Amino acid sequence: MRSDRFQQMHCQQTGINCRLLFLFAIVLLSVALPALGQHLTSRNPTLKQGTIVDTSQNQEEGPRLVSSEIATSAMLLRFTQTDGGLVLHTGTPSAFQIAGADHKWFRADAHIVNGIIVVSTSLVQYPIAVRYAWPSNPNGNLFNGTGQPAAPFRTDDWPE
């Protein structure tokens, strides 16, 4: 499965045991998410707290997803390693997909607002998960300021 390969690859690149990385991520999540969520929800009453998927830092890699949140009919994605700012290439089809409770994936629009990636499609009114450059939609269009591409990611753990 593509998700398993992604996790293995990530572990090999960082040289950290996967389980240790997972525990580290959980600890960091418990510290960072409440503060982040509090900041966001104070500015937008419709936001809901979401999931941190990957907290590793590597300056040689592209943007890394820090958190996702559900807004009104949209998913808000925050990244580290943006190196001067996120860049979305708009000339190609979007590599983002979102799904609602029915687990049906739809190609979604992505826009950068306040340094956040806002992912939405009018065909999914209540999204709960987002995927980027995942197998059925592999051509990435998200980069950081130095031109490094974002690696594929997803916020769900649903069976393929």
Partner 1 sequence: MRMRCKARTVELLLFIVSGYCGVAIASENHRLELGRTSTGVSVTFTQMRSGWGVDIRGSGLADVSQSEPARIEVSDGAGHLQEFNSAYGEVRRTAAGIDATAFIRMGAGVAFEIQDRWQLRADVLSASRTVTVRGTVSGGFSTAIVFSGTSLHWDDASYLAPGVLYADPTYDGERSPGGTLNYAAHNLTLREDILPAPLFGMYFKDGSSIAMLDPAPRGDTTVAESKLTEAEMIDARFEFGSFFALQPEGSALQFGFRYPASVRGYFAGRGDAPTSIRRFHPIQSGFSDNYRVCFRIGHEPGFRKFSRDAWRRLWETLKPPIHEIDIPMVRQVLTDHLAAQVTEINGHTGVPFVLSTMDDSHNWNWTMVAMGFVGKDLDCADALLLEGDRDPSPRGQHMRALGLAMIDTMIRALPTVPLPATGIDLTTGLPWDHIWLSPWLRNATEDMRVLMLAYRREKKMGREHPEWLAWVRQYCDWLIQQERSDGSFPRRWKPSSDEPAEPSGTASYNAVPVLVLMSEETGDAKYRQSAMRAAEYTWTQYGSRGLFIGGASDNPNITDKEAGMLSLEAFLSLYEDSKDRKWLDRAEAAGDFAESWIWIWNLPMPVDADDAQLHWKKGVSTVGLQGITALHAGGADEYLDCAVGLYARLYRYSGDSHYLEVTRLLLHDTKSMVALPGRLYGMRGPGWQQENFGLGPSPRGRGVGSHRLWLPWISANHLHGINSLEEFDPELFRKLTAAGAKDRTQ
Distance between CA 82 and CA 79 in Å, rounded? 7
User: Of 120 and 144, which has the nearer Cβ to partner 1?
Assistant: 120
Least distance from partner 1 to the Cβ atom of residue 43, Å: 5
Torsion angle of C-alpha atoms 1, 4, 128, 47, degrees rounded to 10: -160
DSSP alpha helix (H) spans, 15-115: 18-43
User: Of 80 and 120, which has the nearer Cβ to partner 1?
Assistant: 120
User: Of 35 and 114, which has the nearer Cβ to partner 1?
Assistant: 114
If we measure between CA atoms, which residue out of 41, 110, 107, 96 comes closest to residue 71?
A: 41
Interface ranges with partner 1 (CB under 8 A): 43-47, 71-74, 76, 90, 108-109, 111-114, 116, 118, 120-123, 125
Distance between CA 56 and CA 21 in Å, rounded? 8
Amino acid at 93: P
Euclidean distance between the first and the last CA atom of the chain, given in angstroms as a whole number: 8
Least distance from partner 1 to the Cβ atom of residue 144, Å: 17
Least distance from partner 1 to the Cβ atom of residue 112, Å: 7
Least distance from partner 1 to the Cβ atom of residue 152, Å: 21
Distance between CA 68 and CA 96 in Å, rounded? 13
User: Of 98 and 151, which has the nearer Cβ to partner 1?
Assistant: 98
User: Of 13 and 46, which has the nearer Cβ to partner 1?
Assistant: 46
Least distance from partner 1 to the Cβ atom of residue 134, Å: 18
